[in-house]
Amino acid sequence: MTDHDALFDEAHRLTRMLVHVGEEAKADFAAAVAPFNIPVGVARAILLLDAPAPMRELAGRLVCDQSYITGIADKLEERGLVMRVPGEDRRIKLLALTSAGTELRDRIAGAVAQQAMVMLRLTDAERAQLGPLLTRLLDSVPPESRGTR
Amino acid sequence: MTDHDALFDEAHRLTRMLVHVGEEAKADFAAAVAPFNIPVGVARAILLLDAPAPMRELAGRLVCDQSYITGIADKLEERGLVMRVPGEDRRIKLLALTSAGTELRDRIAGAVAQQAMVMLRLTDAERAQLGPLLTRLLDSVPPESRGTR
DNA sequence: TATTGTTATACTCTATAACTATA
DNA sequence: TATAGTTATAGAGTATAACAATA
């Protein structure tokens, strides 16, 4: 095996491990959120609603289509967790948590933080090492090379 | 904010970053495989078929239900990439790549290695740091605590 | 004309349940 | 009776396209 092959093999092995850890983390999130009886996507949205946000913006942050946000907003509204409030530009609707929504949001945030923390398996020193590596992996994406995804 | 909160915040931040990198890696895999016009699941299976393997075993390695493997095997067979060969125990069917399958497998492996390597953004030294951290994240899972997933 | 959000719909991924054949 | 694989089907998650209201 050439050095070149060995490099790719090692990179591939690391990638598989990283993807695996990522999937575990997502499963942990789902488990943490399950007791609240809301779908994972809805939970993700509620956690982002720190402040009222246009639906369009939420779509951007959740990396999904706008039409999908309509469904999430419907579910949140049904449960009385959110209100659609018109923005200045009256095409825009802001999703604003109700008091029940804020309360649930805090409880979910707590549950997600407490349980399910894959990261807590590492020592402080290890986490301090990991942070910069992940930053490098995220930052060094040449934006123009990413195509349409 | 207490130290305790700060710890969870930091852990959560790292987790989100790691999940994000993992998703990019998966998108890269999909992009690398797209030119071959086979679904991602089928590509993953073909890469595992280094040697003929019982369908059951494949289900284990892909972490999915057996019934799902039937579908994948059908698609592979349609394309003439795989043959179902009976095992000693005649309940078992082994999936064995045909010569066309082996050839495609090599091409896919090459494409996956070449393109899409998030990991190649790191230096050798950084990868050498990351490996042990990922190993720790994966190894320190208390097996009995993982429940049914 | 361009943009926000909505509706209807369709597609992909994946699991569950009931079944056949072997063991 | 238990196991490997198959079939039919159903559900979750998500996107696309056409549309209404507003800019």
B29 pLDDT above the threshold of 70: yes
Instruction: Name which of B8, B21, B27 is nearest A18 (Cβ-Cβ).
Output: B21
Query: In the 8-state DSSP scheme, what is residue B98?
Result: -
Is the C-beta atom of A70 closer than 7 angstroms to strand C?
Answer: yes
- When pLDDT is averaged across residues A41-69 and rounded to a whole number, the result is 97
Is the C-beta atom of A40 closer than 7 angstroms to strand D?
Answer: yes
A66 in contact with B at a CB cutoff of 8 Å?
no
Partner-chain contact A141 B112, CB within 8 Å = no
B11 in contact with A at a CB cutoff of 8 Å?
yes
B67 pLDDT above the threshold of 90: yes
- Kind of pairing between the strands at A93-97 and B53-54: unpaired
| Sequence-distant (≥ 6) Cβ neighbours of residue A127 within 8 angstroms | A119, B10, B11, B14
Predicted confidence band of residue B141 (pLDDT cuts 50, 70, 90): low
Asked if A75 contacts A39 with a C-beta cutoff of 8 angstroms, the reply is yes
Is the C-beta atom of B76 closer than 7 angstroms to strand D?
Answer: no
Asked if B56 contacts B73 with a C-beta cutoff of 8 angstroms, the reply is no
Q: DSSP per residue over A99-120, as a string?
A: HHHHHHHHHHHHHHHHTT-GGG
Residue predicted with more confidence, A131 or A142: A131
CA of B92 to C1' of D2 (A): 14
Per-residue pLDDT tens digits for A56-89: 999 999 999 999 999 999 999 999 999 999 999 9
